[in-house]
Chains A and B, each alone.
Chain A
Amino acid sequence: MEAAFVNTDAATLSPIALFLQADFIVKGVMLGLLLASIWTWAIIIGFRVKVGRTKKAIETFEGDYRRADDVDAFHRKHAESELPIARVFSAGVAEWRRSTAGKTIDREGTRERLATAMGAAVAAEIDRLGDRLNILATVGSVAPFVGLFGTVWGIMRSFTSIAAEQNSSLAVVAPGIAEALFATAIGLFAAIPAVIAYNRFAHAIDRIEARLNRFADGFHATLSRQLELA
């Protein structure tokens, strides 16, 4: 993206040179956008790692769960797990134990409480997973405007310099406009990956949520069957 600049001097193509020549406001804009870009990419990479790991863990957990004979033994094995699906499972088991601890068992109430507890666990896990997505959304929508602000400011400054030098030749105008456009370029540089990542990750989180809900429904059906036997 930065390669699209038009410069009168090849030396000024260097982003550092452009940054150093700029006005202090444009400098601030560039610096902020650079940090936003770094933070965006940190979130993207971290999220990608986390989502991939979560998906794999969910598949493994579901496979283990289907093969498991004893739910209590399986729960003991995964009690300390940090995985979202394990937490949902733990929430269901915990609620089951609390509801069936007494002498009399309210079957309808127990079913409702089980559903609520597991639904809350799923929601909490999704919240935790999608924690950083709002940052991506913010960067994606705001960074172009911030960059545009820097550009407008820089171009205004260029025009002032035209007026000051009473010379409108390209050599006077071009460097100022180039460094001003650099602000927009950084803004787009930060915003485009953020928008793409936000859409992809929102989709990925939706799928994880659906998967957790399916697992919770299945577990709820199993517990409900157990409730009737009891």
Chain B
Amino acid sequence: MDRAERIGLGAAVVGHVVLFGLLSVGFLATPNPTELKPVPIDVSLVDEVGLEAQAPASIEPPATSIAPEAGPPEDAAPPEPEAAPDPEPQPEPEPAPPQPAPEPRPAPKPAPKAQPQPRRPAAAPKEKARPKAEPKPAPKAAAKAAPKAAPATKAQPKAAAAKGTGRDTAAKASRPRGSRLGDDFLKGLTDTPSESRAPNPPSAARIDARALAGIRDAIRRQIQPCADRQSTTGMPGANNIVTVLNLRLNRDGTLAGNPKMVRQTGISGENERYAQRVADLGIAAFRACTPLKLPAEFYQTANGGWSNINYNWQLR
């Protein structure tokens, strides 16, 4: 090693030490600008198969107004003074079987009978749907009559008037004149909003062509993984064969029985020897990739569903 090489060695060592020293103290270090943090992405699969009913949605009647309708004037309540002397004794409060024959009863006696009487008028406001011309004090008076036997006589005529047919000529005295609104037209209006019921599910869901196509799509999507795993090479023309498979499914999407081949189309001289193989592959795909997840509301509808469905199986 001569002098020149000694110089070279010294310079090389110094140079390397300086270079690696600079790198070690981060001379060329680039700050890491992007944090390597995976940001999760929420993926939600939109259900392509929606509930569809062929029948028009049942029209929900609006919440019935409780105010009395401007009805025939004959329905107006009989006046109170008339009721008091009315000799007509208590009729049975049941509206359904009208009892034309009044049952004469002594005053003290109806005490036990009065008990069931007020119940009927009390129940009346519950059935709001039934439009009824009811005299204003009827429910109230009836409610009051409940504990007491004495006022029963008073309440009874009113209840009778509720189903009165207007044969009482005295009732005409309070017939509304000029205005068609009775003086009790606000009756029953409350400050709480009337409860309108939620729309019912369509009573009879029927499967239509679109829904059926959607279900076939859903089936195809779900068995595609199994179909993809199948080796279909070396079968020229086999893709042209369309096999109609009949599937019988349970409600949980499992097969109720082996899929059955209904028919096959697209068979030519070239591919006819693969026809059975194609059908077998289809059956195997269904056996491997069930249970299927299909919309439960279409399992069975009025005109069929996926409980028993034909599927066009084709190699792709």
Chain A complexes with chain B:
yes
Interface residues in chain A, defined as those with a beta carbon under 8 Å from any beta carbon in chain B: 2-3, 7-11, 13-17, 34, 37-50, 53, 132, 170-171
Q: Is the CB of A42 within 8 A of B12?
A: yes
- B97 at the A interface (CB under 8 A): no
A17 to B29, CA, bound (A): 13
Min C-beta distance of A173 to chain B, whole Å:
11
Check B36 for interface membership: any CB of A closer than 8 A.
Answer: yes
Q: Which residues of A contact B32 (CB under 8 A)?
A: 7-10
B1 CB to closest chain A CB, in angstroms?
Answer: 8
Query: B8, A10: Cβ atoms under 8 Å?
Result: no
Distance, CA A44 to CA B16, complexed state (A): 14
Q: How far is the CB of B5 from chain A (nearest CB, A)?
A: 4
B62 sits at the interface (CB 8 A) = no
Whether B4 pairs with A8 at a CB distance below 8 angstroms is: no
Is B36 a contact partner of A38 (Cβ separation < 8 A)?
Answer: no
Q: Does B189 sit within 8 A of A, measured CB to CB?
A: no
A50 and B2 CA atoms in complex are apart in Å by 10
- State the Cβ distance, B85 to closest chain A Cβ, in Å: 97
* Contact partner, B6, options A7, A46, A47, Cβ 8 Å: A46
Which of B20-28, B113-121, B171-179, B193-201 forms part of the interface with chain A? B20-28
B29 and A43 within 8 A (CB)? no
Residue contact B23 to A15, C-beta cutoff 8 Å: yes
Which of chain A's residues have a CB closer than 8 A to the CB of B26?
10-11, 13-14
Tell me if A38 and B4 are in contact (CB < 8 A). no
Residues of B within 8 A of A14 (CB): 23-26, 29
Is B29 in contact with A38, judged by CB distance below 8 angstroms? no
Q: List 27 A-B contacts (CB under 8 A).
A: A2-B23, A3-B23, A8-B32, A9-B32, A10-B26, A10-B30, A10-B31, A13-B26, A13-B28, A13-B29, A14-B24, A14-B29, A34-B16, A38-B12, A39-B12, A41-B8, A41-B12, A42-B8, A42-B9, A42-B10, A45-B7, A46-B4, A47-B8, A49-B4, A50-B2, A50-B5, A132-B5
Measured between beta carbons, the chain A residues less than 8 angstroms from B2 are 46, 50
Shortest distance in angstroms between A100's beta carbon and chain B's nearest beta carbon? 35
Which residue of chain A has the shortest Cβ distance to B16 in the bound complex?
Answer: A38
Given A15-B24, A42-B8, A45-B8: 6 more A-B contacts, CB < 8 Å: A13-B28, A14-B29, A16-B20, A37-B12, A40-B12, A42-B10
Given contacts A16-B20, A47-B4, A53-B4, contact A42 B11 (CB under 8 A): yes
Cα–Cα distance between A121 and B16 once the two chains are bound (Å): 38
- Output the least CB separation between A33 and chain B (Å): 11
Give me the 8 closest cross-chain CB pairs, A-B, nearest first: A46-B8, A45-B8, A41-B12, A46-B5, A42-B9, A49-B4, A3-B28, A42-B8
How many of chain B's residues touch chain A, expressed as a range? 20 to 34
Q: Which residues of B contact A48 (CB under 8 A)?
A: 8
B13 at the interface (CB under 8 A from A): yes
- Chain B residues with CB under 8 Å of A42's CB are 5, 8-13
B95 at the interface (CB under 8 A from A): no
B15 at the interface (CB under 8 A from A): yes
Report the minimal beta-carbon distance from A127 to chain B, rounded to whole angstroms. 15
Kindly name the residue among B12, B16, B20, B25 whose own CB sees the greatest number of chain A CB atoms within 10 A. B12
Residues of B within 8 A of A53 (CB): 4
Query: In the bound complex, do residue A10 and residue B29 qualify as a contact, i.e. CB atoms below 8 Å apart?
Result: yes
Question: In whole angstroms, how far apart are the Cα atoms of A16 and B23 in the complex?
Answer: 9
Residues on B with C-beta less than 8 A from A50 are 2, 4-5
Chain B hits for A46, CB < 8 A: 2, 4-9
The residue that B16 contacts in the complex, of A7, A10, A37, A170, with Cβ under 8 A, is A37
Find the A residue at minimum CB distance from B1. A46
A205 CB, nearest partner CB in chain B, Å: 15
Bound together, the chains give a CA A44 to CA B11 distance in angstroms of 10
Chain A hits for B4, CB < 8 A? 45-47, 49-50, 53
In the complex formed, the residue of B with least CB distance to A170 is: B36
What is the chain B residue whose CB lies nearest that of A7?
Answer: B32
Which chain B residue has the least Cβ–Cβ distance from A38? B12
Contact of A2 among B11, B25, B28 (CB under 8 A): B28
Q: How far is the CB of B150 from chain A (nearest CB, A)?
A: 89
Give chain B residues whose Cβ lies under 8 Å from the Cβ of A171: 36
Most chain B beta carbons < 10 A, residue from A7, A16, A38: A38
Complex CA distance for A14 and B6, rounded to whole angstroms: 29
Q: Which residue of B lies closest to A35 (CB)?
A: B16
The one of B12, B20, B25 that contacts A45, using a Cβ cutoff of 8 Å: B12
Q: Are B24 and A16 in contact (CB under 8 A)?
A: yes
